[in-house]
Every structure is written in C-alpha cells, then in structure tokens.
Chain A
Amino acid sequence: MIIISDSNTYLFEKIAKKSGIEINQVVSLAPECEKNIPKNCKEIIILLSELIYKKFKLKNFEFDNFDNFFENEFKTINDLLSNLLRNGSVIYFPIIPKHFIYSDKYFSFFYEKHSYDNYLENINQKLYEKYNHFSNIIFLKGIVKLSPDISKIYYRFSSIYDEKNSIKIISQYLAYKESLKIKKKKLIIFDLDNTIWKGIIGDDSINGVRMDLSDPIGAVFNNVQNILLKYKENGFLLAVCSKNDQELALKCLFDHPASLFSRDDIVSYRVNWNAKSQNIKEICKELNISVLDTVFVDDSDYECDEVRENCEGISIFKVPKNIYNYPFELSNNSFFYLGSLNKEDKRRTDMYKDNQKRKDIYNEVIKEKGTKEKWIKSLEIKLSINKITPNSSNKDRIIQLFNRTNQFNLTGNKFNTLLLNEKLIEDNLYFYGSVSDRIGSEGLISVIGCKYDGKNLLVENYILSCRVFGRYIEELMLLPIFDYAISKKSDIYFEFVDTGRNKVSKEFISKLTNNNHLSLKNIVKLQTKFSKLPVEVINNY
C-alpha cells in the first residue's frame, strides 16, 4: 500500500505494519505527486488533514466562497484522484473529520451561522458525489470528529493520525476487505401468511389480512414488502413458497389494493400443500440457482426446521417474534448484502423472465420437430466481445460474475478489485462477452483470461453465466484466444481446477480438448467450425 498525505503519518505507518499491512511508500501530497507512484501500484490510501485545516486557521477565511475554495484548494486532490483512478489502483479515502478547534463547539446541537462543521460536511459530500461512481474508490467513514485529546500529538507531530485515530482507519480498511469475502446470495424465497402480510389468508380471507399503512401492524408488513422489493431492485430474485390455495394466495399477492407486489416482481412461485423443501428445490432447479445461494424467509419454526433439514446449506431468515423488529432485522441481515450494484443487477428479474420466454420458444421449436440450431437462429443472438483494460467501466460486474459463477467456472477463482487489477496490470489477455437477442439483453455474461508464457497460451480463467448455457456462447468466447494463439503459432492449455461445483465447465473442457490441451492444428479447425455457428459475433477487441 502507498500512503499519500499532507501530514505526518508515522504513527499510522507503524500501526499499519503491526496489523500486517505492507506500506511500500509514503508520498507527500503536492501537485503532480501521482508521478511518484508506480503504475502497478495496487492500493493507495489518502490521509488528508492540513490541506483543509490550514485554511481554517487563516484570519481572513471566508465561509461564503465554498465553490471557489473547492475548485482552488482541491485542485491538487482533484487532479490526483482523476489520474490515479484511471490507473486502476484501489484508492481508500477516509472522509475528512471535523476539527476539535474549528468546529461548532459553543452549541453542538445546531449549526452556527458560520459553521465549520457544515463546511467540512459539504467538502466530504462534494468529494463523494464527484468520485463515488468509480468502482475503485472506497470512501471510509474515517475518524468523524477529532477529540481534543489529540492536541499534544497534533501540535508535536503536525498530524491528526495518532494511535487511536490510526487504529480506527485501519480497522475500517480491514473490515472493508473482510466484507469482500462475504458470499453473496442470489435468490429470496418467501412465505406469504404472517411473512409479507399479517394473517392467514385461508382463515381471514383477502379482506382480513393486514398489510396497509392504516394500522400499525399492517404498516410493519407494508415496510417488509418495500424492503423485499428494494432487494429485488438491487439484483435479488424474488420467489414465493407457501402452503396455501394458489388462486386465493396469488390474488391477494397481486390484486390486494395494499400489496406492493406485481406479477413482474416474482420470478417463480410454488403455492401448494407440498413440503416447502421440495418446492424450494424445484424453484432452484427451475432458475438454475443453488440452494447455497438462496435465502428462505418464513414465520414458522416448523417450516424453517423442515427446510433447514432438507435443503442443506440454505440460509434461513425467520420472522422475529417481536414483529416491530421485523423491518429492521430484514434490512440489516448480512444474507442480503450485495456490495456495489451495476446495471445487470437492476435488470436481473427481467433477464430471468426473458429466459423463460426463450425456453417457451425452444419448446415450440422442438414441438415442431425443429433443431437446436433452428432455435438459436430464431433468437437472433449477438455476442459482443471486448478486451478488459484497467480502465474498463464494468469491472464491478466482471468481479461480481466471477464471485457468483460456480457451474461454468474453470478454476473457481474469486476476485476483488485488487486481484482483478493485478491480472490486468500484468499484461494478461482478458476479454468479456455481452449477449443480446430479439427477446432482450443478457448483459455481460462471460469472461475469459489467459497468459502467454512465451511458448504456450494458458487459459487461467473462464466463466460463463448459467443463464446462457447451450447457446454456443461457451464456444464463441474462445475466439479471441484462438486468434491470439494462431498469431503466436502456439498451443492452448486450460488450467482446469475441480472445485466440486464446476461440472459443466469440466464437461465442456473435456469434450473440447485432449487432457486440457489444444494443439495449433485443432485450434485452426475449431476456429473455422465455430465461425459457422448461428450467432453474430461482434469483435471489439
């Protein structure tokens, strides 16, 4: 890690080293200081203090000229961030804390007319607004407010980073790194009665269940519905599993005036009297999602136990006994943590629904004794292949795809921004594929990466979303690698690692290769064969 700072960071460095963080270099914040930072630098932390506080100390400091202040005084930091973000390094930026002298100290309960606190909040807000859309900048919550206890260190060391504050920032950095390891879920399957409305539809009738804002308990369930729909917006798929009369339950779910759900929100449902574990397994099979990636929400101890017993590895969220805690617990449970969002997340339910349409077309074509080729042709599939660079704007989605893909995943490798940047910086060849057809867009669905050792080409990563299996995308994503191998007159080796969950990948590679190896002769043959497949390939690499 490299530290860039406008103040003394000696204590921070010391504590970072004790916490196992390697500090490679400390760079003083100055115009064009980014030139002192190596291009392949992976992590940078920017520790600001005096840049702002020294302005507060000026006799003629003006509160009104905020925009001027930001443009002029922050030019160095703006230039620095703009240049560093393009390099692909991950930048940690603890927000600037309120000062212990230059603060609203007389009356801490309101903003004074010339408020230092408000001024600092505006600076942090402006920086956040300006740079938050970059995937490789992480705004840490930082120290928040400097305590007067820091006075001695502040004056003797010219630094706000004493032991306590350094530990605070380092803990936030380490906690962020831990959060990257959380295995993200994909599907929420929920019960209906006493889970998304109060009451039992079979006993209380549609008019008897409560989910509207006019009564306190109804408001709790209304809030729960809102939270589930927010999760759907963020990329979760929503499905229903309930022991109920199907017609009655779906009528209540979609037509009750207070229900927030529409048919488009629910990707699949099983409303019947079968065991819930059986229904859940069916839904997972239909959506091609593992129970390991699924959260089940129910109010009954019995149902939760039955599902836990029979769907090994599923995550279970039980509705709390104190119903008023339900919205808070649902919105704060780590099962529902998804990290940063991308445009594919927001369209995930639509994409699964589109896939259902494709299956319907497939069934129609097969019924008419058509072939797979005929079906693929009828879909008018376009595959766009692009090279991934450190500046690629969709690195978040690429990382997410690596971390969510298990079945077609050559090695099972998981990535974060840091590891991906490492791959890209090392001049390896990485490509992503995006698919669209006449039904809709599937977005970014595949990544392939290889390195050239001077003799052979080694495919070290190859992933494909389960949504597009069997549409020749797995074959066509190899084309850029084939092109490169042919240009270098080299063979290709696939570095397959059996993870126990990547059988699809294993079968594909074993059919395609001879012991994970493709000779140049075979590469040329396959290239000719694949170029005739009924998919339009748009080559952007």
Chain B
Amino acid sequence: MLKKSDINSILIQSINEVLENSEQFNLESCFIGEDSIIESIDIVQIISLVEDKLEEKGFEGFDLLEKTFENNNLKFSDFSDLIEKEINN
C-alpha cells in the first residue's frame, strides 16, 4: 500500500525533474489531452520516471504508459488516482 500523499509527492518530484517550467504546473493542471501544453515526449518521460520511483519503493512491473493513454484527457490528479488504483489493486 502506498498513501495518496506519497503518490502525489512522487508525481510532483517527477514533474519537477522533467519539466523546465515546472512551477507552472500543479495537480489540477492538464496532463494529457487537448488542453495539455506538455510535449508528448515529456509526458512519456514523466510516466517513466514515476514508474522508476515506484520501483524504488518496491512496486515493480507496472506499465503505466498504456493505462495512461487509454484515456483521452487526464489531469495530474487523475493520473495520481490511476496510479493509486493500479498499485493498490
């Protein structure tokens, strides 16, 4: 089990590491979808980084990429919910 606050903290760390203008984003910003201003390659990188950080905490083998792109629109908070659902299932 991983607390929601821990998941959010991993997500924020990943955003900060990947995006140069990370201060413009918060959990309510658009992650994927028409309104997203994030380059697709950065999206893939954020997902990869989240997976790596989850692995460090012992949650191995999650492919969040496919799950994420099953959705047309996701805010960072939705992505956080998706992570929580995946690892706690």
Residues of A whose CB lies within 8 Å of any CB of B are 8, 10-11, 152-153, 156-157
Known: A11-B45, A156-B48, A157-B41. 8 other contacts (CB 8 A): A8-B41, A10-B41, A152-B48, A152-B51, A153-B48, A156-B44, A156-B65, A157-B44
- Which of chain A's residues have a CB closer than 8 A to the CB of B45? 11
- Which of chain B's residues have a CB closer than 8 A to the CB of A152? 48, 51
- Complex Cα distance, B45 from A10, in Å, reads 11
Give the distance to chain B from A28, nearest Cβ to Cβ, in Å.
16
Give the distance to chain B from A527, nearest Cβ to Cβ, in Å.
59
Give the distance to chain B from A7, nearest Cβ to Cβ, in Å.
13
Which of A8, A11, A152 counts the most chain B CB atoms within 10 A?
Answer: A152
Interface residue ranges of B57-89 to A (CB < 8 Å)? 65
**Chain B residue with the shortest CB-CB distance to A156:** B44
**Chain A residue with the shortest CB-CB distance to B48:** A152
**Chain A residue with the shortest CB-CB distance to B41:** A10
Chain A contact surface mostly = helix
Q: List 11 contacting pairs A-B, 8 Å CB cutoff, sorted by A.
A: A8-B41, A10-B41, A11-B45, A152-B48, A152-B51, A153-B48, A156-B44, A156-B48, A156-B65, A157-B41, A157-B44
- Which of chain A's residues have a CB closer than 8 A to the CB of B51? 152
- Which of chain B's residues have a CB closer than 8 A to the CB of A10? 41
- Which of chain B's residues have a CB closer than 8 A to the CB of A11? 45
- Complex Cα distance, B41 from A156, in Å, reads 9
- Which of chain A's residues have a CB closer than 8 A to the CB of B65? 156
**Chain B residue with the shortest CB-CB distance to A159:** B41
Interface residue ranges of B32-60 to A (CB < 8 Å)? 41, 44-45, 48, 51
**Chain B residue with the shortest CB-CB distance to A8:** B41
- Complex Cα distance, B41 from A8, in Å, reads 10
Give the distance to chain A from B31, nearest Cβ to Cβ, in Å.
17
- Complex Cα distance, B44 from A156, in Å, reads 8
- Complex Cα distance, B41 from A11, in Å, reads 9
Give the distance to chain A from B43, nearest Cβ to Cβ, in Å.
11
**Chain B residue with the shortest CB-CB distance to A18:** B20
- Complex Cα distance, B40 from A157, in Å, reads 11
- Complex Cα distance, B66 from A192, in Å, reads 73
Give the distance to chain B from A26, nearest Cβ to Cβ, in Å.
13
- Which of chain A's residues have a CB closer than 8 A to the CB of B44? 156-157
- Complex Cα distance, B40 from A8, in Å, reads 13
- Complex Cα distance, B51 from A72, in Å, reads 41
- Complex Cα distance, B59 from A465, in Å, reads 68
- Complex Cα distance, B45 from A156, in Å, reads 9
Give the distance to chain A from B49, nearest Cβ to Cβ, in Å.
10
- Complex Cα distance, B44 from A152, in Å, reads 10
- Complex Cα distance, B51 from A10, in Å, reads 20
Give the distance to chain A from B68, nearest Cβ to Cβ, in Å.
12
**Chain B residue with the shortest CB-CB distance to A11:** B45
- Complex Cα distance, B43 from A10, in Å, reads 12
Give the distance to chain A from B8, nearest Cβ to Cβ, in Å.
23
Give the distance to chain A from B22, nearest Cβ to Cβ, in Å.
13
- Which of chain B's residues have a CB closer than 8 A to the CB of A8? 41
- Complex Cα distance, B44 from A99, in Å, reads 23
**Chain A residue with the shortest CB-CB distance to B65:** A156
- Complex Cα distance, B53 from A152, in Å, reads 14
- Complex Cα distance, B45 from A152, in Å, reads 10
- Complex Cα distance, B51 from A478, in Å, reads 67
**Chain A residue with the shortest CB-CB distance to B63:** A152
**Chain B residue with the shortest CB-CB distance to A152:** B48
Which of B45, B48, B51, B65 counts the most chain A CB atoms within 10 A?
Answer: B45
